[in-house]
Amino acid sequence: MSMFLTGIMIPMQATLLPLMVMFKNAHILNTYFSLILPYIAFQTPIAVFILPGFMRSIPHEIEESAHIDGASIYRIFRSVTLPISILPIMTVCILTFINIWNECITAATFISSEKLNTLVSQCSVNYSNISAFLVMGALPVIIIFWSVRKDYGSGSS
C-alpha cells in the first residue's frame, strides 16, 4: 500500500523528462500509447487507495449469506460486492476522468503529430481559442456530474 501512496505523491509533471526519454528509446513517442500508459500508471494509485478501504467496510456476513445460498466467489462479487461498491467505483471514475481531462502538458509533450493532437493540446496563444477550449473541456465534467448527482445524493442505500 505504501508504494501506491508514493505514486500519489509524485506528480506526473515531474516524470515527463524520464518518460520522454524512455518512450523515445522504446519508439512509442508520438503515439496514443505514450499517453495511455502514464495516465493508467498515475491513476491506479488513487483507485487502489479508495477501493480497498471501502471493500473492507462491507460486512462479511452479507458475503457469507450469499455463500451459504450457494453462490460462487464470482457470483458473490457480481451480485453482492459490486452493487454495494458502485459509489466508490463512480468516485474513482470521476476523479480519473477529471484528472486526465484537465491534464494537457503530457499530451503536449508526448504528441507532436497534428493528426494525433488531443483537444487540449491544440490550444495556442489566442485567448479566444483558449477560452472556447476551456468551456468545451468543462462541459463533459458538468454533464457527467449532473447525470450522476442523484446517485450521490441518495448515498449507498
Looking at residues 13-40, what average pLDDT do you find? 91
95 — pLDDT class (breaks 50, 70, 90): very high
Q: How many domains does the chain have?
A: 1
Residue 121 burial (CB count, 10 A): 19
Looking at residues 118-130, what average pLDDT do you find? 61
Contact (CB, 8 A) for 30 and 111:
yes
> For the chain, what is the mean pLDDT?
84
What would the pLDDT profile of 46-73 be if each residue is shown by its tens digit? 999 899 989 999 999 999 999 999 999 9
CA–CA distance, 122 with 133 (Å, rounded to integer): 9
| 100: containing domain | 2-154
CA–CA distance, 103 with 106 (Å, rounded to integer): 7
pLDDT of 157 reads: 52
Residue 117: partners with Cβ closer than 8 Å, 6 or more residues away: 107, 111
pLDDT of 123 reads: 52
CATH of residue 132: 1.10.3720.10
Contact (CB, 8 A) for 51 and 88:
yes
